[in-house]
Amino acid sequence: MRLGTRGSALALVQARAVRDALGGEAAAEIVEITTSGDRGVAGDKARWIDTIEDALERGEIDLAVHSAKDVPAASLLRDGMSLAAVLGREDARDALIGAASLDDLPEGARVGTASLRRRAQLLAVRGDLNVVALRGNVDTRLRKLAEGQCDALILAAAGLRRLGRESEIGALLDASVFVPAPGQGALAVEGRSIPTTLVDADADAALRAERFVVEALEATCDTPVGVHHDGLALHAFIGMPDGSTWLRDSVASTGDDAPRILVERLESMGVRDLLARAAEQAAAS
């Protein structure tokens, strides 16, 4: 079986985990594929998986291994393809690197992130911070921090753990306040036929709930949106990129209707207008 993946260190660690679950090198081969995002092409998050999906459609690979948060809404999946969360979810929280807590950061501290969601959440709680755009893979961003290009970083805890860089974490941010990106911490496999032995039922159910909310709200990469299912509740955050206005809500996940209830509650609070204004602000910045 041929597994398509990006060639970054983190992507390869993730693909090897899927390969090992399938039976190791004798059962599966990893095929490294360069995506538009890897080539520096701007655009939405589909740029991180586009050429992998092309290879999947052409039959050059059998399964694609993704970070679940990089996969666009279900309505944008290629025809005939399905998606499932596999192998259990890693810690979905955001991690602060460079300080023991947000409160420890001095006024005006430069915090690096390329995420609109993280920018909005940081400024919502610490409007005095200087949030700077910092791009690159995990190692690149950690190097930029060491070089003094920023005073602290926000990265996904899952990526740090999978790369053996957990010691870099200064603090883990409360996922009910700093609501993670939909799918953060989860591995997803895409294909025409996904081996059921790979699928983790709990992680898959959480991923589907999170993706339902994003798709129902028609949210895009140009809007700061976090949705996270922690097993007890489904949490959501939608805000302006400058942190000036935001909505945050949670619904107990005791039934399958939690995603629908959460969407309805957010809509009653004016989320559609907030999303439109957030997109305008992001486009103007």
Cβ contacts of residue 115 below 8 Å, gap of 6+?
154, 181
Q: What are the C-alpha distances in Å from 252 to residues 188, 235, 255, 262? A: 25, 9, 8, 9
Pairwise CA distance, residues 229 & 182, whole Å = 9
70 is a catalytic site residue: yes
Name residue 254's amino acid. T
Of the candidates 203, 198, 211, the one whose C-alpha atom is nearest the C-alpha of residue 62 is 198
Q: In this structure, are residues 102 and 178 in contact, taking their beta carbons and an 8 Å threshold?
A: no
Sign of the C-alpha dihedral computed for residues 112, 220, 31 and 33 taken in this order: negative
Q: In this structure, are residues 209 and 229 in contact, taking their beta carbons and an 8 Å threshold?
A: yes
Catalytic residue among 50, 62, 70, 91: 70
Give me the active site residues, please.
70
